[in-house]
Amino acid sequence: MQKLLNVEEFAAGAGWKPATVRQKVWKREIEFVRMGRNIRFKPETLARMIEENTIPAKGDSPQFSPHSRGNGR
């Protein structure tokens, strides 16, 4: 069985304050597991959140040329 993350661990992984995580839980903006009065997070929830919010670099485009200025030359 996988280890679930507590609020502090999830916040550290996301680069947020624990209060921000609690606020997002309260607003139901992030998926969580309730265990009695405790709130836990699946590690893949954090990984998925990071993946979904990752913006690729312009250089990842096949049309990119380091010598072009974006004008098609």
Mean pLDDT of 7-32: 97
C-alpha angle 47-14-34 in degrees, rounded to nearest 5: 75
Phi-psi region of 71 (alpha: psi -120 to 50; beta: other; left: phi over 0): alpha
| pLDDT over threshold 90, residue 16 | yes
DSSP-assigned states of every residue in 20-56: HHHHHHHTT-S--EEETTEEEB-HHHHHHHHHHTPPP
**Using one digit for the tens of pLDDT, what is the confidence trace for 36-56?**
999 999 999 999 999 999 999
Q: What's the pLDDT score for residue 21?
A: 98
**pLDDT over 90 for what percent of the chain?**
75
| pLDDT over threshold 60, residue 17 | yes
Record the pTM.
0.73
